[in-house]
Amino acid sequence: MKRTVMLVDDQIVYRKAMITLLNKLGEVEIIAEASNGQEFLEKLDGLPSKPDIIFIDIEMPQMNGIEATAKAIAKYPDLLIIGLSIYDYEKYIDELIAAGAKGYLLKLSDNTQIFKTILQYPGAEIFFSKEIEVRQQKSEGEQAKTILVVDDFEANTYIIGHTLNNAGYNVIKAHSGEEALEFFKTSSIDLVVTDYKMPKMDGIELISRIKLIKGCENIPILLLTSETAEEKKKRAREVGVTGWIQKPFELKRFLDTVKKAIR
């Protein structure tokens, strides 16, 4: 799938280097470029359709990338913006992510694999260069919790798994109910996140069978679904589901639900 991209950087040399690299990694169309935050906002408003991905520099004249990101996200909440900088400053990282960006990459790092992932799975959150220490959502010395993610659609397990990994959890992925049950023979699992609609064994049946496993009677299980029928929600509660997450879901709300369920 061809991805439309907008590049925002005051250094034209770096923009050219980015164009060369991105074209090597996937099908990419650069639909706009800007050299500062103000120009970025003006050009963004004028585009007939918004880009799939925006790469934006942090330190730029007139308006920096953090301020520009905040203003762009306030107007267009669904934008996918990735920050770029030569500086590994915690303040920059925290402020950019708080502004609504979905990642922070260091220009001097080898980000080739990360760029590939962004182009393939732009919905996966959040992207950091490997040198950046992600602030984990666990106390110092606390053992990371293990979450089993079950979905027959591989892109979904990737996106959810990537999100949970970045939040500090260990993640096991399964693409069917049968495969998920096998992991209970060899792994200690603290939480299950499963899709509702799956072939052969749906999420409801999987939950029922997990609850029959010795020692797993009280394991928390979150059900991901686009279903809205009340009778199906009732059936999920009857088999022991801990929480019901409606698709599409917002990342922070999803992580808050996970954190609450896994305590």
State phi, psi for 35 to the nearest 5 degrees. Answer: -110, 0
CATH 3.40.50.2300: which residues of the chain? 3-128, 146-262
- Type of residue numbered 201: M
Q: Is the pLDDT of residue 138 over 50?
A: no
Q: Is the pLDDT of residue 4 over 70?
A: yes
The DSSP call for residue 68 is: H
Question: CATH: 3.30.565.10, 3.40.50.2300, 3.90.1150.10, 3.30.70.3040. Which one for 146-262?
Answer: 3.40.50.2300
Closest CA to 41 of 25, 21, 64, 17: 64
Q: Percent of the chain at pLDDT above 90?
A: 59
Can you name the residues that pair with 193 across neighbouring β-strands?
149, 222
Fold that domain 3-128 belongs to in CATH = Rossmann fold (3.40.50)
pLDDT of 52-78, one tens digit each?
999 999 999 999 999 999 999 999 999
